Structure 1
Amino acid sequence: MTTSPTRTPTTPTSAASRPERTPTVVADGVHITYTVNGARTGRGGATAALNRIFTRRATPGARKVHAVKGVSFAAYRGEAIGLIGSNGSGKSTLLKAVAGLLPVDQGRIYTRGQPSLLGVNAALMNDLTGERNVILGGLAMGMTRAEVDARYDDIVDFSGINEKGDFISLPMRTYSSGMGARLRFSIAAAKSHDVLLIDEALSTGDARFRRRSQERINELRAEAGTVFLVSHSNSTITQTCDRALWLEAGTLRMDGPAKEVVAAYEAFTKKG
């Protein structure tokens, strides 16, 4: 009697044997509205605004904007997620809400750790030198002074703002928008983050800086972080992110692999 060879079962891997995915951000049916003020009437804008606060009068011409409408998703540790969509689709609004800078009207946002929002207009002090902004920016992110001092040279070198002169010793107001954005990213990227939110900061700067930025984002992901990236550059999204969320008119149109979502979005914009 012959014995048939033993075959290894081909059943799918059980859930218990799959690597655990740790959620870092969960949005559950999120709605966000904000008020857009109309044209100012009367004299003394600031005085008039204070008067309206104390007299509880509405701003003339004010209207409500429903910027985010019932958005739900879960982000996991180690992911880089791109946010794409037309102007006014709710991308930046959603990032600000994840960062805790905007209230949610309905639904909930749950985060692991403290999300850090980096935008082109991130607050650095224009009257201070780049050097002082590096120190203060690092302290504001929770680094000790010793940690800032240890990473100072790397931050300046990464930004590249000293390649054509000693700009780090000049006030920030003398910087171009690209120089300022590069310095902001360099400060933020000097520290590991549970969740790093980047709003258009990689759209400025040359190809070399964008390449370094993408490499740093990959390092942050490897350090168990999650990165969200808003960009109008579809190539930046596909090169930097493995997943994308497509927002349109405040609603989540698609959530999936970055290349597939970008392709669907580009097909949509061509039809429009």
Structure 2
Amino acid sequence: MAVTDERVPSLISSHVDVIYRVYGAKKMGTVSGAPGNASLKRLLKGRGSIGGVREVHAVKDVSFVAYHGESIGIVGRNGSGKSTLLRALAGLIPPTNGEIYTAGTPALLGVNAVLMRELSGERNVMIGGQALGLTPKQVREKMDDIVSFAGVEDYIDLPMKAYSSGMAARLRFAISTAAVPDILMIDEALATGDAEFQARSRERVAEIREAAGTVFLVSHSDSTVRAMCDRALWLDKGRLVMDGPANEVCDAYQAARSKTSPKKAGAKKPAPKAPATKTPAGASAPAAEKSAATKPAPADKPASAENPSPAENPAPAEKPAPDAGTTSAEDAPR
């Protein structure tokens, strides 16, 4: 008897491809060095960007099914298509090929989520809450909870341009989770904030999961994915490499990353030098004579006539002592 899966799907991704075009991306040579300089060619060609069009295949044939109550992490290297896939699942980017089905309205929370810098934090809460489908009355009822969760009670009347990046990230998360969304998508937003805020964020994500919501989390932190997700997707160069339990996927991803990461070659240790022997000041001459005596003399090496070495030249013969009755020219009185 076949076992039926009683879980209810919340999102279906069927053979999704995302291809986008980049204009002005025609290759004109290397940036510097041979065979040419791209900047110089740009100047010679004329002003403006080079009129080339390049297609980037960011997501390639990705298929999976997400269910209500699941928390799914998406891992992969930079440029593997994680954020692009998340934006396509949220409906912000139309897929080039394939279909995406959602049971409910997805809410994307990212580090680049737009907050109006000129408006106050309170006005941004009102606008963001209504964008999630809440009425103005419901937003006012939740205002205190949102402000308290973000920890910006003393700054809620200031314009957003006066907020730090961490304060703005906390307020974005608090706004996005004010109304329990059917599908919450978090793109690196939990990486900004202290440990206390991250703990509160995990509690809020757990509440959303208990309310039968689905959570997608893109993060470069394996520990965050292991702690907050029960399932993980591993993307590499736009393709879905592995789909399974979070711990197993993270282990496989870590193993693959450790194999492909370049290893630094160990520096060669210099050959040990012979320790220099220190000669006492009083015994310098005898020690030098002793060391010179221990060195083997070169075998029958003729002395150079042009640059005779002092060591090779024989000592001058001693003059014979003068006889007792003989007076040398030097000793003669002048």
TM-score range, shorter chain: 0.7 to 0.9
The 5 A counterparts of 1:20-39 are 20-38=6-24
Q: Deviations over 1:20-60 (max 9, x none)?
A: 20101101111111112336986688xxxxxxxxxxxxx71
Report the count of equivalent residues.
242
Determine which of 85, 104, 126 is the counterpart of 2:95.
Answer: 104
- Which one has a larger percent helix, Structure 1 or Structure 2? 1
Question: CA offset at residue 103 of structure 1?
Answer: 1.2
Q: 1: CA distance between counterparts of 2:195 and 2:22? A: 37
1:121 counterpart = 2:112: yes
Secondary structure of the 2:203 match is: helix
Question: CA offset at residue 62 of structure 1?
Answer: 2.6
CA contact (8 A) 2:25 2:54 kept: no
Secondary structure of the 2:235 match is: strand
Question: What 5-or-longer segments of structure 1 have no aligned partner?
Answer: 1-11, 46-58
Q: 1: CA distance between counterparts of 2:95 and 2:176? A: 25
Q: Report what 2:223 is aligned to.
A: 235
Secondary structure of the 2:140 match is: helix
Q: 2: CA distance between counterparts of 1:116 and 1:195? A: 6
1:63 counterpart = 2:54: yes
Secondary structure of the 2:156 match is: helix
Q: 2: CA distance between counterparts of 1:258 and 1:247? A: 13
1:262 counterpart = 2:253: no
Q: 1: CA distance between counterparts of 2:157 and 2:219? A: 30
Query: Quick one: percent identity of the two aligned structures?
Result: 58
CA contact (8 A) 2:18 2:58 kept: yes
Secondary structure of the 2:7 match is: coil
Q: Deviations over 1:69-109 (max 9, x none)?
A: 00000000000000000001011001111111111111111
Give the AA of the match of 1:122.
A
Q: 2: CA distance between counterparts of 1:60 and 1:215? A: 50
Give the AA of the match of 2:194.
D
Give the AA of the match of 2:121.
G
1:151 counterpart = 2:139: no
Give the AA of the match of 1:86.
R
Q: 1: CA distance between counterparts of 2:80 and 2:70? A: 22
1:245 counterpart = 2:233: yes
Secondary structure of the 2:208 match is: helix
The 5 A counterparts of 1:109-258 are 109-162=100-153, 166-258=154-246
Q: Root-mean-square deviation (CA), in Å? A: 1.8
**Per chain length, whose mean CA-contact separation is higher, i.e. which structure has more relative contact order (CA < 8 Å, sep 6+)?**
1
Output the TM-score relative to the length of structure 2. 0.69
Q: 1: CA distance between counterparts of 2:126 and 2:117? A: 14
Give the AA of the match of 2:12.
V
Give the AA of the match of 1:257.
P
Q: 1: CA distance between counterparts of 2:133 and 2:47? A: 43
Secondary structure of the 1:123 match is: coil
72-81 or 30-39: bigger deviation: 30-39
Q: Which has the larger radius of gyration?
A: 2
Q: 2: CA distance between counterparts of 1:62 and 1:255? A: 34
